[in-house]
Amino acid sequence: MNSRKSTATNESNDAINKYPFPEDAEGRRRINIQQMQDVLLIWLDSDIDETNDDCKNTIKQLRRAINEINTFTDGDQCFEFIQTIVNKKACMILSGSLGQHVVPRVHNISQIDSIFIFCENQNYHEQWIKEWPKIKGIFTDITSICEALKKTAHQCEQNAIPMSFVESNKKLDQLDPSFMYTQLIKEILLSIKFKQKNIQDYINYCRDVFGDDEEEMVHIKQFEDEYYDEPPIFWYTCDMFLYPMLNRALRLMDGDIITRMGFFIGDLHRNIEQLYQKQYAGKTAADIFILYRGQGLTKGDFEQMMKAKGGLVSFNNFLSTSENIKVSLGFAQDATINSDQVGVLFIMQINSSQSTTPFASIASISAMKREKEVLFSMHSVFRIQDIKQMDGNNSLYEVKLTLTADNDPELSRLTDYIRKESFPDTEGWYRLGSVLYNMGQFKKAEDIYQHMLDQSNDKKDKASIYYQVGLIKDAQGKYEEALLTHEKALAIREQSLPPNHPDLAKSYNYIDILIKHVNLLL
């Protein structure tokens, strides 16, 4: 191992820095592979036979591009499945014989991102596919389909990156929750001292999830053995499970996955921060440059952005940009193929001396070696300066952004408000549990508090934690469990606090309310 140090440490601190996951099987429960990627694959062919070795090998190869594969031999069953897809895009492989009948039926469904025709008779189908822009081509071998699928899946992931829009002079109590929570979660995770056990538990969790995927199991072993040998940016840009898992978790605000990956979020942020300090040291306010990003936006998100012109947009994950306008414009143009999307070319004006978010050129250390790529840390905030149509195309727009500075008054106002409203007197795991509780992610919040209870010997801390668990049980309608938990908090407080302490009054009041709830159920 080289000299790079993770934020993980083997030293034991107080309870708020302990790892919040149970060590038993439930703590590393198998999570459906569907939660790990923003894109899935549908393969419809009347000749599919999953007991056949050739078919098994084909599926194995396809899984190298997209983890979740759904096979169908019946068109009606396939169509019913498509209707159930939520929060994802689907790539679809069709045999030539079915393609002409199925494509007209599925082409305009918003869940379908792209279609691939898998057929040996290329010439026969070349003419009719021209009518359907979502068709990526006719492919005669599985290798070429896999390569095309990888590129398409990556662009689907890029288009799915989470954004929040804040209109200028927006009332503070009407802020988009995702804008607040991504900032808070980042701030909290960076304050926690993760340990080697955090990394190992995440690896064990991934083995649970990807147990049936041979290639990902190899990647997991590589990640386990070589994590400290490469910088976090390398792992983030690797063609493996980590990138799509993190991006989807941040998009859906999945507190469970975000918390499990907290050590990596912190390491990746610090890696970018170190490069930023090295690459942009000595820059002045006059050193302004331009970066680009091309992607698709849903029409709903585009309308929100139009309303927020003059206001702010935050990219709520780690943001990939480029110095190359040609590449970025190509991504924006490709997005216009789908009628439910608007292609957007972001033109970003960057003043490196005043940035609120670290960023770095990563071309030399990225596993993918993308030319002139610049990566921003999580929750980068820009001001929307202008939005205008490109080339008279009402599906393609140029959006000019300016990276916010440390002294931006509106951003400072928002940041101060968010911190005041988010348990500023707490820290570490305790504060994260409180934020997850506010997000409605009760199970993850309870997991965190339960582990803190197991680790803490401080009576005052235990009383506060029991009180929080009681709030969670109450919010879930589990009034009897809430009552028992609050009584535990009260018992500790009666022994350790003076009779006139306000925490005692809080416990008495809450217990009275819960007794009434329980009596109503009798």
Residue 81 has which token pair?
């499945």
Range name among 282-296, 412-426, 501-515 with the lowest pLDDT average: 412-426
pLDDT at position 371 is 66
CB 379 within 8 A of CB 313: no
Asked whether the predicted pLDDT for residue 453 surpasses 70, the reply is yes
Range name among 124-133, 172-181, 407-416 with the lowest pLDDT average: 172-181
Scan for tokens 């071998």, then name that residue: 141
State how far the Cα of 138 lies from the Cα of 122, in Å rounded to an integer.
6
135's CB contacts (< 8 A; 6+ apart) are 103, 114, 115, 116, 117, 129
Scan for tokens 């109590």, then name that residue: 173
* Average pLDDT taken over every residue of the chain: 87
State how far the Cα of 204 lies from the Cα of 224, in Å rounded to an integer.
10
pLDDT at position 275 is 96
**For residues 252-269, b (16+ Cβ closer than 10 Å) or e, as one string?**
bbbbbbbbbbbbbbbbbb
Beta bridge partners of 295: 344
CB 401 within 8 A of CB 385: yes
DSSP string covering 139-208: ESSHHHHHHHHHHHHHHHHHHT--EEEE-TT--GGG--HHHHHHHHHHHHHHHS---HHHHHHHHHHHHH
Sheet with 89-95, side-by-side order of all strands: 69-72, 39-44, 89-95, 112-118, 135-139
| Average pLDDT of the residues in 452-474 | 89
Maximum mean pLDDT: which of 47-56, 166-175, 482-491 = 482-491
Q: Would you give the DSSP letter of residue 309? A: T
Q: What is the pLDDT of residues 269-313, one digit of tens each?
A: 999 999 999 998 877 766 889 999 999 999 999 999 999 999 999
**For residues 426-453, b (16+ Cβ closer than 10 Å) or e, as one string?**
bebbbbbbbbbbbbebbebbbbbbbbbe
Asked whether the predicted pLDDT for residue 425 surpasses 80, the reply is no
Per-residue confidence at 382, pLDDT binned at 50, 70, 90? very high
Asked whether the predicted pLDDT for residue 175 surpasses 80, the reply is no
Which helix (H) or strand (E) segment is 394 a member of?
strand 393-403
Residue among 177, 164, 182, 197 nearest 246 (CA)? 182
State how far the Cα of 430 lies from the Cα of 445, in Å rounded to an integer.
9
C-alpha dist (Å) from residue 164 to 82, 177, 316: 28, 9, 7
349's CB contacts (< 8 A; 6+ apart) are 288, 290, 385, 400, 401, 402, 403
Q: What is the pLDDT of residues 91-149, one digit of tens each?
A: 999 988 888 889 999 999 989 999 999 987 777 778 888 889 899 999 999 999 999 99
State how far the Cα of 139 lies from the Cα of 96, in Å rounded to an integer.
10
State how far the Cα of 483 lies from the Cα of 382, in Å rounded to an integer.
46
pLDDT at position 8 is 44
Beta bridge partners of 420: none
Residue among 196, 204, 245 nearest 221 (CA)? 204
- Alpha helices by DSSP H, 347-478: 409-420, 428-438, 442-455, 459-475
Asked whether the predicted pLDDT for residue 520 surpasses 90, the reply is no
Share of the chain above pLDDT 90, in %: 54
pLDDT at position 522 is 64
Q: What is the pLDDT of residues 356-366, one digit of tens each?
A: 899 999 988 88
Per-residue confidence at 5, pLDDT binned at 50, 70, 90? very low
End-to-end CA distance of the chain: 62
Asked whether the predicted pLDDT for residue 166 surpasses 80, the reply is yes
State how far the Cα of 338 lies from the Cα of 298, in Å rounded to an integer.
10
Domains of the chain: 39-159 (3.40.50.2300), 163-177+283-411 (3.90.176.10), 457-521 (1.20.58)
pLDDT at position 33 is 59
Q: What is the pLDDT of residues 203-261, one digit of tens each?
A: 999 999 888 888 899 999 999 999 999 999 999 999 899 999 999 999 888 888 998 99
Sheet with 393-403, side-by-side order of all strands: 163-166, 312-315, 380-390, 393-403, 341-351, 288-298, 319-322, 373-376, 359-361
Phi, psi of 519 (to 5 degrees): -65, -35
pLDDT at position 366 is 82
pLDDT at position 25 is 38
Higher local confidence (pLDDT), 369 or 452: 452
Share of the chain above pLDDT 70, in %: 92
